[in-house]
Structure 1
Amino acid sequence: MSASATPGRLGSEAKTGRTSMYTRKSSATTGRAGEEIEFASQRGLEDTYLNRMRIFVAPYFAEFFGTAVFVLLGCGANLTYIVLTTNAESAWMANAFGWGFGLMLGVFVAGGVSGAMLNPAVAVSFAAFRGLPWIQVPFYILAEFIGAFIGAILAYACFAHSLDPFDGYNRQIGGPFGSAGAFGNFARPFIGNGAAFLSEAIGTGILVLGVFAITDTNNFPARSSTPIAIGFLLTGLALSLGYPTGYSYNPARDLGPRCAAAIWYGADVFTFHGSYTWVPVAAPFAGGIVGAAAYELFIVSKRAVVDDTRSESESIHSSISLE
């Protein structure tokens, strides 16, 4: 049955005084959920200064933990690709899925509390076009950076003993036994910084465009499957566009682990490959804004002609569900 037919069917049921089984079930479920939330609120969230502070900082802690989980799994996939595998083709695919599943789990961890930006470029794009308060953006970025830093340290702790036989206890940035690229990204040796900037900007633009589409309730939203959809979005980008630069697409995901890598590899991680550090930091911001603007200007505007009709239909459906 088409979505456009649903309001008419529900409207006729309302006029005849009948409510479908689906509506009764939804209403009952909503009632139980409301009781549980009310009980939890009365029991554990009294109006105290401490709880008000907990509510205030909750989005930033959510961003911290979500980003830490994302980077831990992703850097772990990178280290597996570099250290423990010999089949480059299958390892690259596994690496892409590792980052995709890491992002999926990070969004599951943080999505219901902070919206799970997990990416400063996404946070800035949502502030510019989706109403995220600008005053929160610096705190989101700081939480994401610290989360990425901690996630990289945890990944190194898990793989330190595996790196020892790989490089003979001599941590190297590049070359056949280099492993610093598992943390901060470096473009392929034959890719210049200008070409790498373009690649990172395009990839981030497609990422943000996809995130805007997936989370747009007026388009074709993934709803409860949003984390899975976003995870596969990153996996697809990694498999299709990620090879030239290692697909950072995220300033915190690159700079946080790069700072962690400096502990073991030295300050050269910031200057290696022609001072490459600025590319995965600047390019995602540029590409993310372009991708967000493209979606908001050329896709969202087409909804205007159906907004009034949709609002009326949704109000009818909502009133019947409450009955």
Structure 2
Amino acid sequence: MDKLRAKLHVKHELGRALLAEFTGTFLLLLVLNSVVAQAVLPKNKGVLGNETIGVNIGIGIAIWFGVAISARLSGGHINPAVSAMFALFGQLSPVRFLLYFVVQLLGALFGSAVAYAVYQDAIFGFDGGNHQIVGNSATAGIFASYPAVPIGLFNGFLNQMVATAVFCFLIAHITDKRNAYPSWVQPVLIGVTFVGIGTAFAYNDGYPCNPARDLGPRLFTFIWGYGGEVFSHRTWSWVPVIAPLVGGILGGLLYQLLIGFHTPQDVEEKYVVLTGNQELKPLTSKDPEESAQA
């Protein structure tokens, strides 16, 4: 394995980061779409149908591990809205943000394709091969978000923006080094945070809160026979792309303005005895490697 690692190891730091963002987002969408499929496809919901809380927990766990596996290499964003927030903080250049967005989108597309492959027979049994956007036999909602019938575009935009703002506000808090959350626990907390987002904001139009998570699967369904209506239905498709980006920036700004700028920079001091003159000097415990950005 060491010889294989030496041959296959990506030496360029940006290349490693992009590979990690692709892989983390791929895993997120593979698990997420599969969780939703189990909620939608059973004819007898009492046999295998997940209740809403089951969907929320499954997606939260998918985010937990998507962030965890990619955090050391890329920061574990797996979400362009989160990347936009860290670009606002100056931790991501505009070019790097765009590259992250592209690989996150590709990861979401391929993750959705594999989830479809796993559930293709069940999907065919449910809709008879007549892939529909809405209706009793609709399966497009397994992959991308579609609004509930009574909701308008403004309300839908507001729902997505507020949900993502809350999510990114909490991510900014969790990943702020001044709050001293250990790096290993940050992905867990981010996953749990999204469970809370789902239980609070899912009713109106789902809660993608992630442009790649919605646009990637939507592109897949367009390619795979659901037709152009996946983009034209109620002129909705732009909302879960633009609103989360606005929400991510808004959430990051609010965190810094209301909390972050006012949090003391407390650095724990440890003392060691230096040889020679036996002088006591402080040694900070701050570790620049310790970060798990979502």
TM-score, normalised relative to structure 1: 0.78
* AA at the equivalent of 1:62: A
* Selected match of 2:98 from 134, 138, 141: 138
Q: CA RMSD in A?
A: 2.4
1:254-269 matches, within 5 Å, as 254-262=214-222, 263-269=224-230
Aligned length: 271
> Post-superposition shift, 1:45?
6.0
CA 1:169–1:311: 2 relative to 1, 3 Å: closer
In structure 1, what is the equivalent of residue 18 of structure 2?
Answer: 60
* Selected match of 2:27 from 69, 72, 88: 69
> Post-superposition shift, 1:223?
2.5
Segment drifting more, 117-126 vs 79-88 = 79-88
> Post-superposition shift, 1:56?
3.2
CA 1:161–1:195: 2 relative to 1, 3 Å: same
Task: Find out whether 1:161 has 2:117 as its counterpart.
Answer: no
TM-score, normalised relative to structure 2: 0.86
* AA at the equivalent of 2:107: G
Task: Find out whether 1:225 has 2:181 as its counterpart.
Answer: no
Once residues 138 and 94 of structure 1 are traced to their aligned partners in structure 2, the CA distance between those partners, rounded to angstroms, is: 33
Once residues 102 and 52 of structure 1 are traced to their aligned partners in structure 2, the CA distance between those partners, rounded to angstroms, is: 25
* Selected match of 1:293 from 253, 256, 277: 253
* AA at the equivalent of 2:84: V
Task: Find out whether 1:111 has 2:71 as its counterpart.
Answer: yes
> Post-superposition shift, 1:197?
0.3
Cα distance per residue 1:77-121 (max 9 Å; x no partner): 111111026159952111111111111111121011100111111
Once residues 277 and 256 of structure 1 are traced to their aligned partners in structure 2, the CA distance between those partners, rounded to angstroms, is: 11
Task: Find out whether 1:193 has 2:153 as its counterpart.
Answer: yes
* AA at the equivalent of 1:229: L
* AA at the equivalent of 1:264: G
Between structures 1 and 2, the one with greater helix share? 1
- On the 8 A contact 2:37/2:142 being kept in 1, the answer is yes
In structure 2, what is the equivalent of residue 15 of structure 1?
Answer: none
> Post-superposition shift, 1:140?
0.4
Segment drifting more, 110-119 vs 122-131 = 122-131
* AA at the equivalent of 2:166: I
- On the 8 A contact 1:199/1:244 being kept in 2, the answer is yes
> Post-superposition shift, 1:318?
3.7
Once residues 192 and 143 of structure 1 are traced to their aligned partners in structure 2, the CA distance between those partners, rounded to angstroms, is: 31
> Post-superposition shift, 1:216?
1.0
> Post-superposition shift, 1:243?
1.5
Segment drifting more, 68-77 vs 163-172 = 163-172
1:247-258 matches, within 5 Å, as 247-258=207-218
> Post-superposition shift, 1:264?
2.4
* AA at the equivalent of 1:234: F
Larger Rg: 1
CA 1:311–1:92: 2 relative to 1, 3 Å: closer
- On the 8 A contact 1:103/1:230 being kept in 2, the answer is yes
Structure 1: gaps of 5 or more residues: 1-39
* AA at the equivalent of 1:214: I
**Paired residue secondary structure (1:186):** coil
1:1-323 matches, within 5 Å, as 53-84=11-42, 86-87=45-46, 90-262=50-222, 263-272=224-233, 274-303=234-263, 306-307=264-265, 310-311=266-267, 313=269, 316-318=282-284
